[in-house]
Structure 1
Amino acid sequence: MSAKVFPLKGEQALAVDPQDSVWLSASAGTGKTQVLSARVLRLLLREDVRPEHILCLTFTKAGAAEMAERVNAVLASWVRTKPEALAGDLLAIGADARPETQARARTLFASVLDCPGGGLRIDTIHAFSQWLLGAFPEEAGLIPGTQAMEDRDRELLAHRVLADLLVDWQNRGEKDLLGALEKLSLRLGPDGARTWLMRCANAREAWIGPGAWQEPLGGRIRQLLGLESDAGPESLAALCGDDQFDVRSLRACSEANAAWGTKTGLAAADVIASWLAASPARRAETADDLFKALFTQKGEPRSLKALEKKDPIFPRNVDAVRVSLSAVLDHRALLAVADFATPALTVGRRFALAWDDAKQREGLVDFDDLIRRAAALLADGGLGPWIRYKLDRQIDHILVDEAQDTNEAQWSIIRALTDDFFAGEGQRDGKLRTIFVVGDYKQAIFRFQGTSPENFQRARERFRKAMADRAAAARQLRENLDARELVELGLGRSYRTAQSVLQFVDRSIEAIGYREFGLDNAPDPHIGDDRPGLVTLWKPVNPMPDDDDDEDAPDNWLPAPERRMADRIAAQIKSMIGSFTLVKGGKRAAGPGDIMVLVRKRRELAGLIVARLHAAGVPVAGVDRLRLGAPLPVKDLMAALRFAAQPLDDLSLASVLVSPLFGWSQEQLLEHGYRAKGVPLWAHLQRSTDPDVRQSVDMLLDLLARADFELPQALLHWMLVGPWQGRRKLVARLGREANDPIDELLNAALSYAGAHIPSLQGFIQWFDAGEGELKRDPGAGEGLVRVMTVHGSKGLQAPIVILADATGNPDSSPVREISLPDGERSIPLPGLRKAEKVGRVSEAEEAERKAERQEHWRLLYVAMTRAEEALFVGGALGQRDKGEPAPDSWYARLAPLMPQEVIEDPIWGERREFGERAEGGTIAAQAELPIPPSLPQWAVRPIGPEPRPPRPLAPSSAGEDQGSDPPLPPEVSELAARRGVLIHRLLERLPDVPGPQREERARNWLERNAGDMPLADREEMLARSLGVLDEPQWADLFGPDALAEVPLAATVGGQVIAGTADRLLIEPERIMVADFKTSRRPPHALEEVPVPTIRQMAAYAAALGTIYPGRRIEAALLYTQTPQLIVIPQDMLAAHKPGLAAKQESLGG
C-alpha cells in the first residue's frame, strides 16, 4: 500500500477537522477512503488523543484492511522521512507543520503499535461486537467458550432443531402444529418452509422480550391485518347486511340490468335478486357470484356504456356497489390469511424459541446475535457505563464508513457508544469527543442483507438533533460558548471517472427521477476529470427463429440469446485488448486487467462469460463469488467421496467416471455400464474384463481401501496429488481457475475436522448442509478480466466496465417476503397467494416492491460509476420481450439518453455512443521513451554462481543399484512394493503388542488394510513378520528401548543426510540402526549385499555419528524373507561414507 498523501481539496479539507463531528455524503469516486484516513491522522496528531481512543467501523473486512494499511503506511513513512517531505504531508491533510507537530508525527507509528491490541481498532461492526462479547461474556449472558456460527453449522443446527420439534410434537399428539407445518410445506415447498421458519427465528424480538407475542396468536394476527381481534364469519356476514352494504345502489343496478332486457342483463338482475333475498351469511358465501355478475376479472363494470344509456347514474351506483363488495371480499381474504397465518406463525414461534434455546445450549451465536447482544450490553443502564469504564481503551472518536449499508441494529451499537458524547458527564468533562460518518444514499444496495438506507437518514436526524440540543444547552448555561453542531458536508468531485461518463450518469438520474432512487432532493451534479470518456449502447441480442433447434448444445440450460450474448462479449473483449486506447495515467492500450464485466444478479450468465473468455484465450479471473458446491472440480471430487462412502450410489460412480479424474466419455459409460435391471453399476464393472475398465476399478478399489481409515482431507489430498493425479487432470480440463475451488474444498475439509469428530459420511452431510461460498479477492486478479455482480464490485473500479444484462426486468419475480409492522417489531408472513394480498398485506407488498425498485436504480448508479473511462451497456432479450427491453430495465431507461446516430458494429450489428473515444496519439508504452544512460562495466558483467546450500541426501537413494535383480513387470513390481510396505507396518506396530495377542491382532490388521489381497499372501506376510519378531538373536531391536520409524537428519562434511530408520536402538555405549529389507531373493552373506544398500547404511551411520558423538555406531540389515540379520563391519561403513560418490536427490525414506 502506497504511503503517498494526497492534498485534500474543498470540502475534503473541511471534513477532516478533528474538532468537528461530521456527516459526509460522498458520491462514488470522490476519495472518501482518503478522507477517512486523513481524519484518523488528524486525530492522532492531537495531543489529547491516543490511538486507543479511536474506533473505526467499516462495512467489509476488505474496507477495514484497506484503511488500516493506508494509515499504517503513512505513519511508518513519517518515522524517517525528510523534514520537508513530512511538512508537505502535514500541510496536505490540513495540519500545521510546526516542529512540535512533526516530532509528534514521528512517534505515532510506535504509539499505534504499543496500544492495546497492537494497532488501531479498525473493524467491521460484527468483528467489534464479537470482540466486545469476548471481553465480557458473563455480562452478555453467554456461556464460556461461545463461538460464532459458520453457515454450515447453522444449517445443521436448524435441521436438528426442526427434527427435534417434529419428534416432540408427534409424541405429544400436537396434530394442529404438524398439520400447519404440512400445509406450509405444501404451499411453499420443503425448502421454502425451512426458509420461512428461519425468517421467524430471525424475528426474535417478536417472540422474546417485553411485549412479545404469546399464544394463542389468533387475536393479535387479526389486529395485525387490520381486523378486530374477534373477527370471523359473524363480522363477515355483518358486512353483507342491509345496514352496512349499499343495497340501495345494488337494487338500482338490478333495475338497470332488467331494463336493458338482454340475456346478460336479465341474468345479472336474477343474480342480484337472489343475493338480496339471501341471509347475510349466505350473501357472504355467494359474494363471488355477485362480483362476476357485475364486474369483469379486472374489476371493471360489465356493459357499462349500454347500461349507462338506460340509467345515467348507473356508473355511480355500480361504483358504490364495488366499494361495498370489495370490503366483503377483502374481509373474507384477510380472514383466510389469518386462518392460515395463525397456525403457521405458531409453528414459527415454537421454532424460533427452540432455535434460541439450541444456540444458547450449544454455545453458538450468529451475526444477528452478535449485534443484538453487543447493543444490549452497551445500552444496559447499569452495566453500560461500567463496561465502557472497564474497557482497556476509552472510545472518544468514532468513524463509520459505508454508513448507508448499516442497519438499525448496528446503529443501536453506535448510539450506545456515543450517547454520553452529547449528554450528562460525557459532554461536561471538557474532553473532545467526535463522530464522523461517511456514506452515500445513492449507493445503498445491500437491502437483501437487512440494511435500509432509511436508517441512514434517521441516524443523521438523531445525531443532528442531539448535537443541536447539546450546543443550545451549553450556550444557554454558558458552559461552552463554542459548542459545535453536526457539520454536514458533501463530496461531488470524482477523481475516478471521466466527465463525459459522469455527465451521462447525471442525465440518467434526471431522466429516471431522483425520487425513484429514494432521494428526497435532487443530488448535485457530478464533477469528473476532463479527459475522454465514452458510453456505448450495444444493440440487444434478440431471439432467433432456430433457437429451439439447439437443444443438444452443451450449455442449453441458458436461453440461446444469453449464450450468444456471452459469445459476443468474449469477442468484444478480445478485440479491445491491445487496441482500445486509455488515457488515464498516460495514453496506453487496454489490457485484460482494465476490463470489468458486471451482472445484476449471480446467475449462470456470469459463469458462461468466464467460460467463453477462457475458450477465447483471454486471461480471466473466475466469477467473484460461487457456491462452493457449484464448481465442476468440487462436484467431481465430492462425487468420488460419495462413492467412497456408498459404493452402490450409481449416480456418483457414473459422475466420477465421466469426470476428468477418469476421463471416460459418455459413450464409454453407456458401453461398459449397460447391465441388467437391478444390478449395481459397481458390481457390474467389477466383473468386466476390459483393460480400461479394470484400470478404473483398481483405482476405485484403492479409494475404497483408504476410505475406512483416512480423514476426509487426507483422502482428498491423496486423490489430488497421489496416484490419481486429480489436480493435474482437473486443471488440464477446466483451466487454472479450477485451483481456487479445489483449495477451498480442502480448506472446508480442514475446517470440518477442526470442529467435528471427522468421518467421511459426516463430512458429506456437513458439506451438503450449507451453501458455503467461494469468494475471490476482487482486487487480486491483476492482469485478468474480472466478472462479478454489481454488489461485488462495490469499492472497485476499472477503466472499462461492461453491463452484461442491462435488459433484465426488475418485475420478473414476485415479492416473496412480506412483513407487517407491529410497533417496533416486524412480523413475517408466510407465502401468500395473489388473492390473499389485500388490505394491509397489499400495502406492505407495494411498499416492499417500491423499496426494491429504488434499489434497482441505485444498483445502476453503482454499476455506472465503477467505470473510469468507458462504459458499455448491453443485454439479451427473451421470447416474451417481443423485441423490446422491459420498460423499467436499465437498458430501456438509458436508451433515450443516447444520440440517435446509429453506428454499424461488426460484433453487435449496431451501437450508439455518447462522449468521445481516446483515439490517435502515441501510446506511452511504445514511443517517447527516454534514452537510458549507459551502464557502468560492473552492471553488465555476469554474476558468478551463488553458493547453493547442500541438498539433502536420502540414504535410500545414495547410489544406483548395479547388481540388483532383473526388473519386475509393472503390476508385479507394484504388488511387491505394497507387500514390503505392509510388512514394514507390521514390524513397526507389533513389538508393542503382547506376544500371545500378536498373531490375532496382525491378522485383523491385514484383513482391514489388505483385504483385497489373497488369503495366502496375507498369511505369508503374517508368518514372515512373526518369524522376525520371535527370533531371540535380535530381540533387543524390538525391545522397549528401541524406536521405530525414526527420522534422522544431520550434516556430514557439508552434505545434509536426511532419512528414516526402520529401527533404532539407543544404549549408553552404542547406537544400533537396522533397516528392513523385503527382497524376494535376499543375500546369503555380507559379500552379496548390493553396494547401494551398503551406502545407505553408511549414510545412516555417519548421520548417527554426528548426532551421538563418542558412541559406537553399528548398522545392520534385517532381511524378512529368510529371516536373517547381516551386520555391516565398521571398515566397510567408513569406505562408503557419504561425500564420495553420493547422488543428491530429494528426501527419501
Structure 2
Amino acid sequence: MTPNAKQKIAIDECDSNILVSSSAGTGKTGVLSGRVIRILHDYLSKKTNKKGTLSRLLILTFTEAAAHNMAVRIKGELKKYPELKSELKLVDSADICTFDSFYQKIVRKYFYLLGIKETFEIIDESVLKFELRKLIDSKFDELYDSNNQLFLNLLDHYTLKDDESIRDLVENVITSSLVVKIGSNSLEEMKDKFLSISEAELDEAYCFYLNRLKDSLHKMQKLFLDNDSEPALKPKRDIVLNNLKRIDEIGDHLDKLVNLAKIYQINPDTQKTPAAKWKDAENPHIRAEFTFIKEDIDSIVKVASNFPTYQEAKKVLKDNEKLYTFFYSICLEVMDKFNSLKLQKGVYTFSDIASLALHLLENNDEVRREISESYDEIMVDEYQDNADIQERFLELIGNNNLFMVGDIKQSIYAFRNSNPTYFLNRYNQYKNGNGGKLVEMSENYRSSKSVIDTVNSIFSTIMTEDFGGANYADGHCLEQPTVRPDPNLGLPTKFLTYTMENTRRDLMSPDKEARIVCEDILQRVRNKEIIKGHPARFSDFCILIDRGTKFEDISKVFAEYQIPLNVENDSDAFSKEIVYVVKNLFLAMAFVCLDKVDTAEFKRSILCLLRSPLYREDNAKIFSYFSENKLKDSEVYKKLLSLKSRCQTSDVYSIYSTLIKEFNVYASLKNFTEVSNSIKLLSDVENQFISMAKMGYSFEDVIAYFQRNEKDKSKLKVRFKSPSNDAVNITNIHKSKGLEYPVVYCLSLYNKYKSIKEDDVLFDRTNGVQFRYTRNDQFDAKEGDVCTNPILAYRKDIIALQEKKEKIRLLYVQLTRAEQQLVFVAHKEEGKEWTAKSIDKCNSFADLLAASKYPFNEEKANLDGKIDSGYKNDAESDVQQDKAKEIKKITLKYSEPNFIFENPVVIRASKKETHTSKAILDLGSKLHEAMEITDFENPDYSLFKDKDIVSALENFINSKIYLENKRAEIYKEYRYYDEDNNSEGSIDLLFIHPDHFVIVDYKFSNLADSDYIKQIEIYADNVRRIFNLSKGSGYLYSLKKGDFKKVL
C-alpha cells in the first residue's frame, strides 16, 4: 500500500533523532520496513555518503515474536525489489532482535572484559531465586546461632509470629536492586545515607498530603463562596467558611498537618453535608462537586489523622537508624554471596546480562565507540515500553541516529518496569524542535468509522497529559484515511445492559455476562450477519478483559452453549496434571535412590503415579498395596528400583530424561488432560531440570526446591492458546496489544483496580526500605496507639495514582483492537444514569466510561435462561458438536479428584494472644462456633451448657450494633475470593444494607492489635467490590468482654 503523507515523512526523514508517535492502527510496522528499504536504496544509489548493507542497521524490539515478524516483513518487502536481492541473504543474520538478545551478543563478545566465563548460561529464574533463598536462610541461621543482639532487636521490632516477612523483604530488596534503575541510589548509598534519604522522602510525604488537603479545602471554600444563593449550601455557609479559614493559618508548616486533619475530623460542622435537602438544589452539579470535594478531603483526613507529628516521625527515623543500616548490611552481604555464586557457576538471568552489558558500555569507552560506530541507524519498536536500562543503553550507543516508533497512549507495562516519561519527554522536546524531529501519525487503517468515533469521543474527555500521558483532544484523535477504497463504516457500537436479580453480587458475575455474549454471538452467526464481507463466524468475535481470573468461569458457559473458544492466558504449570505427575515421578525416584521408601512423602508420590494416566490402577488394587504393605510388589516400584543404580551416578537432567523415556511419558500424553498443551508443559519442566543440572543439584536439592515452591505457592507461568481455527477468542488486554479482531466484547467493566498493599511499598528502588511503625515506636500524639508510617502511605498513594493513569491507557488499548464493532456488556439499572466521577477518583473501566459521558445506545440484553445446543449448520453441525463434547470431557476429567491440589489460603485477621492458655483458646473457638450457628432473631440457648457462651450470645444480641443492623441482610462466616491476592477470605459477620455495609470481626479479648485494623480494611475493599457499595463501617468485637471497637 502506498504510504500516506505522514508515513512518507516518517520513512524519508533523516540526519537526526526521530520520534514517530504512531497511534493505534496507523501502520508503524509498515513504516519501519519501508524505512529499511529506503535506506538500502540510498546505499545503492549513493544518495548518502555512507556505504553499507542491512548489517549496518540495528532494529530492536521487546519480544521475540515482534523481531520475527519484522524480519519476515522486511524479507517480503525486499523480494519486491530485484536490485536489493543481495540483501535477502543478510536478513537472518542481521541485528533484528530483542534488547535481551543484543545484550547477550555484547556480553558474549566481551566476556573477558567483564571477568566472567565465556560459557555463561541463562538459566531458569526460579532456580536462582531458590539459591538466593538458601543464602538468606543460611545468613539468618548464622545470626541466630551468634545471638546477634541487633538482629534480635530487628526481629522484635518488626515481626509478629515469625521471621518470614523479614526474609521475604531481604529477598525483595536484593532482586529489585539487581534490576537497573537509572538515577536511583545504590544499596550501599541507601545504607550509608539512610537518614538523609529517608528524611527527604518524609518531607515529600508530608508536603504531598498537606498540599492536597489545603487544595481540597480551598476548593470547598470556593464552592461556598461562588454559590452564595444555593439553598442546599446556604444554611451552613457561615459555619463552614469560618472553620475553613483555619487553613490559612497553617502555611507550609509540615508539623501542622496532623493538627489540621484532626481539626477537620472532629468538627462536625465542617464534616457534615449541609442540612438542607439536596432536592432543593437549583443546580444538581453543585451537589456532585460538593460530594467529590468532600470525598477527597475525607480520604486525606483518614490517612493523615493517623500520622505522628512531623517531628515525631523524624525522631523515629533517627532512633531506628541502626536497625535500618543493620538490615541493609544483611542484604549487601547476601547479595555479594549471590553474585559470587553466579560468577562461579557462570549462570545468570536476563536482567543480570542486561546489567553486565550496561556496565561494560559505561566503563569502557572503546567498546562503546565500537558498537556505536557499527550502525548507521538504530530503530526501536514500541519505544513507549522503554525501561530505565533500555533508555540508558540507547543514550550510550546512539549518535543522533535513533529512530523510535511508539505510542504513549499504549504504554501499559509498568509491571515490567517500563517508564513512559522517556517517550513523553522526547515528544515534548522534539515537538518544540529540541534534540530531534517529531512525526505524528493518526490515520487509522484498522478500525471502522464507528469504532474510531467511539474511541475519539470517549478519550477526548478522559485522557489528558496528566492522566494518560497525552492530551488526546489536541492532536491524538484517530482519523479515517483520506484515501481508502472501502469507506468501512463498520457496525454501530452496542451497549448490552442487564439488571441484577436477588443481590448485588450479580454485578460481578462473569457467568451472566458470558451468557449474554453467547446469546448475542449465536444470534449473529445463525442470522448470517455480514461482518467484513462474509457471514459471521465464531472467529470474528473476541472477548477482552483486563485480567484472566474469570476465564475458567466464562469457558464453562461457552461449553454449555457448545461454542468453541480459544483461550489465551498465562497459566500455572505447577498446577497442571502432567507437571504434577512428572514432578512426583522424579521425587519417587529420588526417594528410592536415597533409600527413603518408608517415608510418607515417597508413598504420596507413588500414590500419585498409580492413580495417574501412566498406570491407571484401580482403587481396590491401590488400597491393597497400602493396607497389606505390598507397595514393593507394584510395577511402578519395581521399575524405579531397576533404574536405581543408573540414576545414582547421573546428573538430575539425565535422570529426568531417563524417567521420561522409561515410563513412556510422551506415549501416554493422550490420556492426560489438556493434551495439546502437555508437550509445551514438558518442555518448560525440562528447562527447569537443565537449570538445576547446571547448578549441580543433588536429589536432596531438587526435593528442597519443590518443597520450597510448594511452601511459597510459587507459580511457573506458561502461555496457552487453544488450537481451533473457527472459535471465539478470549484473552486479557495486555496480550491483545498489537492484535486486531473484527468484533470486540468488553466485559467485567466493574472490576476494581488492584489495590496497593503496604507490602508492595516496603522497598522503593530509589529511596530504600521503610518499615511499618510498631508499638516499639512511641508517639505522644497518639497516646500509645500505633501510627501509620507517612512514607509508606505516600508510596501507596503515588503508585495507585500511576496505576490509575495506566488504566486509562489500558482501556484505550482494549477499544482500539476492534476493526468493525465494539460491544460493551455491563449491569445498569433501567432509566438510571451512571454517576460520573472525576478522573482521579475512577476505580474501574465503568467509572471511566461514565466520566467520558459517551452517549451509549443501550440495548437490553437477550437472556432468557435457556441454553440452546449451539451453532448448527448442516455439515458443520457434527464438527461443532464434537468440539463442544471435547471441551466438556476435558472439564469433567480435570474435575476428578485424582490429585490433591492445595486450596487457596483463607485470610483471617491475626488471632494471636500473648501467653494464651489452651483452655482460653478452646473457649474462643467455641464462642466463634456459637456465634455462627445461633439464629440471632430466635436464639435457642438450650444448645449450650457453658454459661459463658450463653452470656456472650446474650450480650451480642442485646448490643447496639446488632439492634441497629438486625433488619439488614446478614451473612455469617462470609467467604469471598480476593483477586488481588489470589486467596480466599472469611468475614465473621457481615450486615448488608441497601446503601452501606457493616463488618464485625470477632476477637476473644484483645482489640488493640494494629493488624486487626489492616485486615478489616482488606475485608472492606472486597465487600465494596462484591456488593458495589462505597459506604461502610467495621468493628472489632470482644466475645469475652462484649465490647465493640470501631476501626473503619
Kindly indicate whether residue 575 of structure 2 is the aligned counterpart of residue 595 of structure 1.
no
1:132: which partner in 2? 106
Q: 2:189 aligns with which of 213, 216, 232?
A: 213
Unpaired stretches in structure 2, ≥5 consecutive residues: 44-49, 205-254, 275-297, 481-486, 592-598, 648-654, 775-784, 829-833, 867-875, 877-1048
Q: Distance in 2 between matches of 1:831 and 1:852?
A: 23
1:530: which partner in 2? 488
SS in 2 for 1:504: helix
The residue type paired with residue 63 of structure 2 is: T
Q: Distance in 2 between matches of 1:775 and 1:637?
A: 17
Kindly indicate whether residue 406 of structure 2 is the aligned counterpart of residue 439 of structure 1.
yes
1:123: which partner in 2? 97
Alpha-carbon deviations, 1:465-484, whole Å to 9, x = none? Answer: 9x84xxxxxxxxxxxxxxxx
Structure 1 residues 560 and 804 mapped into 2: Cα distance closer, same or farther (>3 Å)? closer
The residue type paired with residue 367 of structure 2 is: I
1:861: which partner in 2? 812
Q: What displacement does 1:56 show? A: 0.9
Alpha-carbon deviations, 1:996-1048, whole Å to 9, x = none? Answer: xxxxxxxxxxxxxxxxxxxxxxxxxxxxxxxxxxxxxxxxxxxxxxxxxxxxx
Alpha-carbon deviations, 1:1036-1089, whole Å to 9, x = none? Answer: xxxxxxxxxxxxxxxxxxxxxxxxxxxxxxxxxxxxxxxxxxxxxxxxxxxxxx
Q: Distance in 1 between matches of 2:471 and 2:163?
A: 40
Q: What displacement does 1:13 show? A: 0.7
Structure 1 residues 24 and 392 mapped into 2: Cα distance closer, same or farther (>3 Å)? closer
Q: Distance in 2 between matches of 1:569 and 1:192?
A: 47
Alpha-carbon deviations, 1:20-52, whole Å to 9, x = none? Answer: 432110111111111111111111222223322
Q: What displacement does 1:129 show? A: 1.3
Q: 2:56 aligns with which of 53, 57, 60?
A: 53
Q: What displacement does 1:620 show? A: 3.3
Q: What displacement does 1:107 show? A: 3.1
Q: What displacement does 1:413 show? A: 0.6
2:848: which partner in 1? 893
1:804: which partner in 2? 747
Kindly indicate whether residue 10 of structure 2 is the aligned counterpart of residue 15 of structure 1.
yes
Alpha-carbon deviations, 1:521-553, whole Å to 9, x = none? Answer: 6343212463223433333685746999xxxxx
SS in 1 for 2:742: strand
SS in 2 for 1:716: helix
Q: 1:623 aligns with which of 553, 556, 568?
A: 568
1:1055: which partner in 2? none
Q: Distance in 1 between matches of 2:73 and 2:692?
A: 37
Q: Distance in 1 between matches of 2:527 and 2:152?
A: 66
Q: What displacement does 1:602 show? A: 3.7
Q: 1:505 aligns with which of 455, 463, 469?
A: 455
The residue type paired with residue 265 of structure 2 is: G
Structure 1 residues 324 and 789 mapped into 2: Cα distance closer, same or farther (>3 Å)? closer
The residue type paired with residue 850 of structure 1 is: L
Q: Distance in 2 between matches of 1:159 and 1:687?
A: 39
1:727: which partner in 2? 669
Q: Distance in 2 between matches of 1:766 and 1:820?
A: 26
- Check conservation: 1:56, 1:400, Cα contact below 8 A: yes
Of all paired residues, the percent bearing the same amino acid is: 18
Q: Distance in 2 between matches of 1:540 and 1:656?
A: 48
SS in 2 for 1:626: strand
- Check conservation: 1:625, 1:776, Cα contact below 8 A: yes
The residue type paired with residue 543 of structure 2 is: V
The residue type paired with residue 495 of structure 2 is: L
Q: What displacement does 1:66 show? A: 0.8
Structure 1 residues 199 and 461 mapped into 2: Cα distance closer, same or farther (>3 Å)? farther
The residue type paired with residue 811 of structure 2 is: L
2:658: which partner in 1? 714
2:824: which partner in 1? 873
Q: What displacement does 1:869 show? A: 1.6
2:389: which partner in 1? 409
Structure 1 residues 707 and 766 mapped into 2: Cα distance closer, same or farther (>3 Å)? farther
- Check conservation: 2:758, 2:792, Cα contact below 8 A: no
Structure 1 residues 729 and 537 mapped into 2: Cα distance closer, same or farther (>3 Å)? same
SS in 2 for 1:493: coil
Structure 1 residues 12 and 374 mapped into 2: Cα distance closer, same or farther (>3 Å)? same
Q: What displacement does 1:9 show? A: 0.8
1:72: which partner in 2? 75
Q: What displacement does 1:365 show? A: 3.5
Q: Distance in 1 between matches of 2:492 and 2:53?
A: 47
Alpha-carbon deviations, 1:977-1010, whole Å to 9, x = none? Answer: xxxxxxxxxxxxxxxxxxxxxxxxxxxxxxxxxx
2:362: which partner in 1? 379
Q: Distance in 2 between matches of 1:323 and 1:744?
A: 49
The residue type paired with residue 266 of structure 2 is: E
Q: Distance in 2 between matches of 1:463 and 1:830?
A: 42
Q: Distance in 1 between matches of 2:630 and 2:762?
A: 60
Q: What displacement does 1:488 show? A: 0.7
Q: What displacement does 1:406 show? A: 0.3
SS in 2 for 1:533: coil
Query: How do 1:736-885 residues align onto structure 2 when only pairs under 5 Å count?
Result: 736-745=675-684, 747-748=686-687, 751-752=690-691, 755-757=694-696, 762-766=701-705, 773-776=716-719, 782-810=725-753, 812-814=755-757, 816-818=759-761, 825-830=766-771, 837=788, 839-874=790-825
Q: What displacement does 1:412 show? A: 0.6
1:906: which partner in 2? 862
Structure 1 residues 184 and 492 mapped into 2: Cα distance closer, same or farther (>3 Å)? farther
Q: What displacement does 1:127 show? A: 1.5
The residue type paired with residue 300 of structure 1 is: I
Q: Distance in 2 between matches of 1:462 and 1:139?
A: 37
The residue type paired with residue 867 of structure 1 is: A
Structure 1 residues 227 and 76 mapped into 2: Cα distance closer, same or farther (>3 Å)? closer
Query: How do 1:303-702 residues align onto structure 2 when only pairs under 5 Å count?
Result: 329-333=309-313, 335-336=315-316, 343-344=323-324, 346-363=326-343, 364-380=347-363, 383-384=364-365, 386-388=366-368, 390=370, 394-418=374-398, 421-422=399-400, 434-460=401-427, 468=434, 486-514=436-464, 515-520=466-471, 522=473, 523-528=475-480, 530-539=488-497, 542=500, 544=502, 561-566=509-514, 569=517, 573=521, 577=525, 579=527, 581-584=529-532, 586-592=533-539, 594-603=540-549, 605-614=550-559, 616-646=561-591, 648-649=600-601, 652=605, 683-684=626-627, 686=629, 697-699=634-636, 701-702=638-639
Query: Which has the higher relative contact order, 1 or 2, with Cα contacts under 8 A spaced 6 or more apart?
Result: 2
Alpha-carbon deviations, 1:644-677, whole Å to 9, x = none? Answer: 5456236555655665556689xx69x986xxxx
Structure 1 residues 828 and 28 mapped into 2: Cα distance closer, same or farther (>3 Å)? farther
The residue type paired with residue 86 of structure 2 is: T
- Check conservation: 1:505, 1:861, Cα contact below 8 A: yes
Q: 2:141 aligns with which of 160, 167, 177?
A: 167
- Check conservation: 1:819, 1:828, Cα contact below 8 A: yes
Q: What displacement does 1:627 show? A: 2.4
- Check conservation: 2:63, 2:98, Cα contact below 8 A: yes
TM-score (norm 1): 0.56
Q: What displacement does 1:576 show? A: 5.1
Structure 1 residues 76 and 809 mapped into 2: Cα distance closer, same or farther (>3 Å)? same
Structure 1 residues 137 and 25 mapped into 2: Cα distance closer, same or farther (>3 Å)? same
- Check conservation: 2:585, 2:659, Cα contact below 8 A: no
Structure 1 residues 706 and 598 mapped into 2: Cα distance closer, same or farther (>3 Å)? farther
Q: What displacement does 1:791 show? A: 1.2
Query: How do 1:942-1021 residues align onto structure 2 when only pairs under 5 Å count?
Result: none
1:1113: which partner in 2? none
Structure 1 residues 132 and 735 mapped into 2: Cα distance closer, same or farther (>3 Å)? closer
Structure 1 residues 735 and 60 mapped into 2: Cα distance closer, same or farther (>3 Å)? closer
The residue type paired with residue 13 of structure 1 is: K
SS in 1 for 2:748: coil
1:223: which partner in 2? 199
Structure 1 residues 543 and 398 mapped into 2: Cα distance closer, same or farther (>3 Å)? farther
- Check conservation: 1:341, 1:830, Cα contact below 8 A: no
Alpha-carbon deviations, 1:123-142, whole Å to 9, x = none? Answer: 21122111111111232343
Larger gyration radius, structure 1 or structure 2? 1
Q: What displacement does 1:376 show? A: 3.2
TM-score (norm 2): 0.61
